């Protein structure tokens, strides 16, 4: 995370709502949840493992709804991948 006051007013304050503002798309280039290299997040492996468990449980319990259109995902790769638009997902209970 950057502490540049031109990008983030009051950079040392914990303000997660700054990412929910109307201009939050302009901040995507400054979003580095895990980073890379020697200064990468020590919780990255745990987070990725938890995400895999959560996704596998969703896949086990739900199925894509019939008639859903699959399309190419458009995004930008910074240090992490940022989607440029919403990804509609419709699920129903698996049988």
- Which residue ranges make up each domain of the chain? 1-31, 38-93
**Rounded to whole angstroms, how far apart are CA atoms 13 and 51?**
28
User: What spatial distance separates the first Cα and last Cα of the chain, rounded to whole Å?
Assistant: 44
- State pLDDT tens for residues 52-83: 999 899 888 887 776 667 667 666 665 556 66
How many residues does the structure list for the chain?
95
Give the residue from 57, 35, 52, 53 showing the smallest Cα distance to 44: 35
Across 18-45, average pLDDT: 72
**Number of Cβ within a 10 Å radius of residue 57:** 10
Q: Quick one: average pLDDT of 34-47? A: 77
pTM above 0.85, yes or no: no
Q: For the ranges 12-21, 47-56, 79-88, which has the lowest average pLDDT? A: 79-88
* Residue ranges of the binding site for heme: 41
DSSP per-residue letters across 36-83: -GGGS-TTHHHHHHHHHHHHHHHHHHEEEPTTPPP----EEESSSEEE
- Residues tagged in the binding site annotation: 41
In the block, which residue shows the tokens 């129903």?
Answer: 92
């Amino acid at each position: 995370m950057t502490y540049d006051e031109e990008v983030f007013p009051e950079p040392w304050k914990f303000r997660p709502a700054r990412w929910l503002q109307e201009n939050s798309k302009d901040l995507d280039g400054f979003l580095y949840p895990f980073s890379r290299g020697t200064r990468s997040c020590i919780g990255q492996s745990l987070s990725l493992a938890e995400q895999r468990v959560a996704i596998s449980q969703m896949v086990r319990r739900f199925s894509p709804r019939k008639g859903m259109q699959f399309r190419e995902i458009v995004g930008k790769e910074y240090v992490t991948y940022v989607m440029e638009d919403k990804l509609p997902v419709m699920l129903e209970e698996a049988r």
